[in-house]
Amino acid sequence: MDRSWLSPPGLRDCRSVSEVCIRKVGARLDEGNFVSGKIASLTVRLEGISEDVIYLLPFFTSGHFDAHTKEDVRKGLLGSVYAPKNFFEIDPDLISPPGAADLGDLVKSGAITDADLDDFLDERQRTRIRTAQELSSFGHWKELEDCVGADVLTQLIGRAELRTLVKTAHGLGKRVIFDLIFNKPLQNYLSGIAPFWIERCGFDVSASMPARLLIAHS
């Protein structure tokens, strides 16, 4: 079946693609322990990447256990990026810790959106934080963490850093796509994931199927 219509000309006719596993960008060993690379580390390196398209391997939280057997399915100590635990959650290991992120700048630049608040905050929290700009009313990131919780704050930063990555790439004339592995039982479920991230973070976006890479467009 001809699926060429899935790819807009700007992506079909590009000269080159750089495949990137964010986990490896700026990764290091700390006393023998693996410290993952970060989204922000890739962002600062974009200008030095000559390729036209940045093709991200899955950036979702990696799974460690088989959902049915509960068996540990990791190869080594790290989960596989191709066995996500949650397709709508960015791997926390790829996100800058709150103390290292410039929350004020992320809010001011619009990298954190009202849609993020709708996704992550409960009704009580939304009465306290009505718009993303109101996040700047907190005097310190710890106060915000106390209000929304550590996991939510991490995901808010992750979304913002992912948007900043895409925006920076676009400013350099590059496209950013990402990888999804489709198989028949999960096809309907997975087909809703790419549109979600296109809408939320502005990806130009990709999806891969067993036999070939498909580059989709919003």
| Distance (Å, whole) CA 181 – CA 29 | 30
Report pTM. 0.80
Distances (CA, A) of 93 to 35, 51, 61, 134: 8, 26, 8, 26
pLDDT at 75 over 80: no
Q: Are 37 and 22 in contact (CB under 8 A)?
A: yes
pLDDT digits (tens, 9 = 90+) for 101-155: 998 899 999 999 999 999 999 999 999 999 999 999 998 999 999 999 999 999 9
Backbone torsions φ then ψ of 85, nearest 5 degrees: -85, -35
The pLDDT of residue 71 is 75
| Distance (Å, whole) CA 115 – CA 10 | 28
Question: How is residue 62 written in tokens?
Answer: 């990696």
Q: Are 197 and 144 in contact (CB under 8 A)?
A: no
